[in-house]
Structure 1
Amino acid sequence: MELAFVTALGVGGATIIGVLIGFLFQKIPHEFNDVILGFAAGIMFAAAVIGLIIPSLEEGNIWVTLAGILAGAVFLNLADYLTPHLHHLTGMDQEAHTGKQSHINKVMLFVLAIAIHNLPEGIAAGVGFGNENIGNAITVAVGIALQNIPEGMVIVSPLILAGVPKLRVFFIASFTGIIEVVGTIIGFGAVSIATAILPFALAFAGGTMVYVVSDEMIPETHSHGYERQATYALILGFMTMLLMDHYIGG
C-alpha cells in the first residue's frame, strides 16, 4: 500500500511539475506542443497495451479483456459527452464579452476533459499495483507520469490567454493531478478488495487510455501542420516504453 500511495503522489505530482514548467513557457509553440504531446501519446499507448491489456489477458480470458476495453472506452465517451460548462471555476462569471466567455468555456471543457481521463488513468496506476507484477505496475505508473508533464504544460497557456488569474490557473491545473492521486487509491483499493475483478479492471483502465490517445491526443497533434513530427514523437514514446518494460517490467 505504501508503494502505491507514493506512486500516486508521483503520478499526480508530475502534472504539477508540468504546470510549473508551463508558467515558464506560457506561450508554447505549436510545433513543440505537438511533439511533446505526440511523445506522451506514444508512452500512454504503450503503457496501456504492455502494462494493462496484456496482463489482463494473462490473468483472465480474451472475452473479459475485450469487454473491459470496450467498457473503458464507452465510459470515457459518456463522461466526455456529459461534461458541463464549468467556466465559473475560472472566477470570471461576470465577463461581459460573449465571445471571450465562449472561448473560456472551450478552454474549461479542454481542462475538464483532461481531468475526466485523469481519474481512470489514476485507477490504471492503482489497479496495476493490485496485480502481483510490481514491475508492470511501475511501468504503467511511470508512463502515466511522463505523459502528465507535457499535459500539465499545455493546460497553462490557454487559461492564461483566456485572462484567468495565474493563481487560479495553478489551482485549476493542479486539480487535474490531484484527481489522479484519488484514482490511484481507488484502483488499488478496489482490486485489493476483490481480486476477481482484476482482469476486467486492467482492461477497463487500458481501454480508457487507448480512447484518450485516439480521441484527444492524436487529433490535437495533427491539427497544426506538424503531423510528421508528432508521428515520429509518438513512435519514439512507444519505443521508450518498450525499453522501460524490458529493463523495469521484466
Structure 2
Amino acid sequence: MTIVFLTALGVGGATVFGAIIGFAFKHISHKFSDIVLAFAAGIMLSASILGLILPSLDFGGKLAMVITVAGVFGGAVCMNLLDKVVPHLHRIAGVPAESGVPVSDKLSKVMLFVAAIAIHNLPEGIAAGVGFGSGNMAEALTIAGAIALQNIPEGMVIISPMLLAGVSKRRAFILALITGLIEVLGTFIGYFAVTIASAILPFALAFAGGAMLYVISDEMIPETHAHGSERGATYALILGFCLMLAADFYIG
C-alpha cells in the first residue's frame, strides 16, 4: 500500500513539477515540448500494450479475447465521451495577450482548458492504479512512470495560458495542483477497484489500456505533429517505445 501511495503522489506530482518548470521557463519552445511529449507517448504506447492489454489477456480465462477487446473499446469510448463534454483546447487556450480577445472570454477558455486536463487526468490515474492489480510491481511502476512523464509537459503547457489570461501565479499554481490531485485520486480508485473486486481485473486492465491508446492517438501524437517537429517527434516516440520494451524485457 505504501508503494501505491508514493506512486500516486509521484504521478500527480509530475503535473506540479511540470507547472514549476512552466513558471521558470514561460516560453518553452514547441520543438522541445513536442519531443518530450512524443517520447512520453512512446513509453505510454508500450506500457499500455505490455503492461495492461497483454496482462488482460492472461487474466481473462476462456473469454479473454472478448473481455480484452470490450475493455479496450470501453476505455476509448469513455475518453471520447469525455472529449465531447470537455474537449482539450491546447491551441484555443494559448491565445496571445495582444490578440484583442476580451480578457473575460480568454479566461473562460483557459479555465475550460484546465478543466479538460483535470478531467482527463482521472482515467490516466485509474490506469496507474489498475496496473498494480496485475501483481507485477515492475510493470505497474513503469506504467505509472510513463504517465508521470507525460504529465510533466502537460503541467508545463497549462501555466503560460493562465498567466496570459490574467490569472495570478498563486492561483495558477493551485489550479495546477488540483489537476495533479485528481490524478492521485484516480490512482487510488483504480487500485482499490481491482483489489476489492479481482474479478473485474481483466476488463479493468484492458479499459485502462484502451483509454491510454485513445489519449496517445487522439491527443498526444497530433499535438506533437502540429508545429513542424513531426520527424523528431516520430523518432522520439519510437525511442520511448523501445526504452519501455527493453525495461519490460529485462525487468518485467
Q: What is the correspondence of 1:142-161 to structure 2 with a 5 Å cutoff? A: 142-161=145-164
The residue matched to 2:192 in structure 1 has which SS?
Answer: helix
Q: Distance in 1 between matches of 2:72 and 2:87?
A: 25
Which residue number corresponds to residue 32 of structure 1? 32
Q: What is the correspondence of 1:20-169 to structure 2 with a 5 Å cutoff? A: 20-60=20-60, 61-83=64-86, 99-169=102-172
Q: Runs of at least 4 residues of structure 1 off by over 6 A?
A: none
Q: Distance in 1 between matches of 2:87 and 2:226?
A: 25
Structure 1: unaligned runs, 5 residues or longer? 86-96
Structure-2 change in CA distance of 1:24 and 1:247 (3 Å): farther
Letter in 2 for 1:199: P
**Per-residue deviation, 1:84:** 8.7
Structure-2 change in CA distance of 1:211 and 1:139 (3 Å): same
**Per-residue deviation, 1:222:** 1.2
Q: TM-score, with normalisation over the residues of structure 2?
A: 0.89
Structure 2: unaligned runs, 5 residues or longer? 89-99
CA RMSD of aligned residues (A): 1.8
Offset from partner CA, 1:104-128 (integer Å, 9 cap, x none):
3333333222222211111111111
Structure-2 change in CA distance of 1:159 and 1:219 (3 Å): same
Contact 2:15 2:179 in 1 (8 A): yes
Which residue number corresponds to residue 96 of structure 2? none
**Per-residue deviation, 1:98:** 5.5
Q: Distance in 2 between matches of 1:110 and 1:46?
A: 27
Structure-2 change in CA distance of 1:71 and 1:125 (3 Å): same
Structure-2 change in CA distance of 1:106 and 1:236 (3 Å): farther
Which residue number corresponds to residue 93 of structure 2? none
**Per-residue deviation, 1:171:** 1.1
**Per-residue deviation, 1:180:** 0.8
Question: 121-130 or 103-112, which moves further after superposition?
Answer: 103-112
Contact 1:117 1:208 in 2 (8 A): no
Q: Distance in 1 between matches of 2:224 and 2:173?
A: 24
Matched pairs, number: 238
Which residue number corresponds to residue 202 of structure 2? 199
Contact 1:34 1:230 in 2 (8 A): yes
Which residue number corresponds to residue 92 of structure 1? none
The residue matched to 1:164 in structure 2 has which SS?
Answer: coil
Structure-2 change in CA distance of 1:68 and 1:84 (3 Å): closer
Letter in 1 for 2:10: G
Matched, 1:6 2:3: no
Letter in 2 for 1:50: L
Q: What is the correspondence of 1:213-232 to structure 2 with a 5 Å cutoff? A: 213-232=216-235
Q: Distance in 1 between matches of 2:237 and 2:113?
A: 21
Q: TM-score, with normalisation over the residues of structure 1?
A: 0.89
